[in-house]
Copies of this chain bind each other. A is one copy, B any other.
Amino acid sequence: MATLPGQLSPTPRLLLGPGPSDAHPRVLSVMSTPLLGHLDPQFLEIMTETQTMLREVFRTKNQLTFPVSATGMAGMETCLVNLIEPGDPVTVCCIGYFGTRMIDVAGRTGCNLTVKHKPWGDVFTLDELRDILKETRPKVLALVHAETSTGALQDISEVGKLCHEYDALLVTDCVTSLGCTPVELDAWEVDAAFSCSQKGLSCPPGMSPISFSPRAVDKLKSRKTKVQSWYLDLTSIQSYWGGDRAYHHTAPITMIYALREGLRLVLEEGLEARWARHVRNHKALKAGLEALGLEYIAAEAHRLPQLNAVKIPAGIDDVAGRKKLLTEFGIEIGGGLGDFKGKAWRIGIMGYNSRPICVLSVLAAMEHVLRAFGAKVTPGSGVAAAEAIYAA
């Protein structure tokens, strides 16, 4: 080629979209640590430490808990393709974009798929889920815990128990919940959960922590067919992560260094303190956004603190507004997905970025952008409203 690209030197951003969020500086720092081999005794110890901490963060004793060597969507596929065999009755309960992803992924397994929808932004009640289980009698029920496209929190605290009454396994998408809001795999009887590295865990994207309950492992062991994906086949991968440490694929060493550091940060802070921090910063952000005239999509009763999805006010252009935030203030927020394309803004205050300065910065910058597009906003009103919460 004529000339090579120059040294990497991006203009810094503050990542307040749906993810990636900024990685914690300590995480970035460990990523320049020289490599170990994936079978080095030192690395095997790092794997064990990572798994132990991951179990704490997932609130589980599940033996089969480890990070899949790919991003969150690969975690979704791992959970579904390992627990589903062709012909199995499977039900996906969909409340947004990532629910439609589950439909697409499950649909490729040759299962007998039933899909139940609620309007985007809404969630399923326990009674509705009971009726669905009665009607569809699935072997696997899949739903999204934290729907990143709408900002809705699907209560799953009693869904696992319910599923087990109907002999179904519960698979949940915890991509946006883990490390931000309570996830209690054992207490909630969740059978398979997957998450990501780049939101509540404050690492770069690239890994998908998953956990399988003993019930899920039993299902895995009793499969009559091979898992359709070789790369995501837990019957083989568990030989590496499960104790024998037998070679399956070359683990992404540096990403595991990062995850280990991200998990250390979570547990140093403590899960309860971390969840409370996310709620506190959410309340301040919410007060500020509402003072700026912005309206949330999900009802307050089932709203994610870490992912604030609001309606774009009439007269404001989605792309131009976000571009102004990015170029003038270096702040990234997210646009809408699917049905909400052009209609929603998504502000993520997740992990390391769930901090007052992030809340105040985005409110101040947002106010500037709204006014630039002609919105009637009292100067300083967003920041003042947030400040009132912090002062309380």
Residues of A within 8 A of B (CB): 1, 4-5, 8, 10-13, 15, 17, 19-20, 22-23, 28-38, 40-43, 46, 49, 52-53, 56, 69-74, 76-77, 101, 104-105, 107-108, 196, 198, 204-206, 226-232, 247-255, 257-258, 260-261, 264, 267-268, 326, 332, 337
CB distance from A319 to the nearest CB of B (A): 11
Contact A33 B5 (CB under 8 A): no
CB distance from A99 to the nearest CB of B (A): 14
- Chain copies in the assembly? 2
- A10 / chain B contacts, CB cutoff of 8 Å: 33-34, 36, 42-43, 46
Contact B23 A247 (CB under 8 A): no
Interface pairs A-B: 9 shortest CB-CB = A206-B252, A204-B254, A70-B70, A5-B49, A31-B31, A73-B249, A28-B32, A205-B250, A105-B230
Contact A4 B264 (CB under 8 A): yes
Determine the distance from Cα of A335 to Cα of B284 in the docked complex, in whole angstroms. Answer: 57
On whether A32 and B35 interact (CB within 8 A), knowing A40-B13, A231-B73, A261-B8, the answer reads no
Determine the distance from Cα of A74 to Cα of B233 in the docked complex, in whole angstroms. Answer: 11
- A11 / chain B contacts, CB cutoff of 8 Å: 42
CB distance from A217 to the nearest CB of B (A): 21
Contact B252 A255 (CB under 8 A): yes
Determine the distance from Cα of A239 to Cα of B122 in the docked complex, in whole angstroms. Answer: 29
- A326 / chain B contacts, CB cutoff of 8 Å: 40-41
Contact A34 B20 (CB under 8 A): no
CB closest chain-B residue, reference A31: B31
Name 27 interchain pairs, CB-CB below 8 A, sorted by A: A4-B53, A4-B267, A8-B257, A10-B34, A10-B43, A11-B42, A12-B34, A13-B36, A13-B37, A17-B37, A20-B253, A23-B34, A31-B32, A35-B198, A40-B326, A40-B332, A73-B230, A77-B230, A77-B231, A105-B230, A196-B250, A204-B254, A204-B255, A205-B253, A229-B229, A229-B232, A255-B255
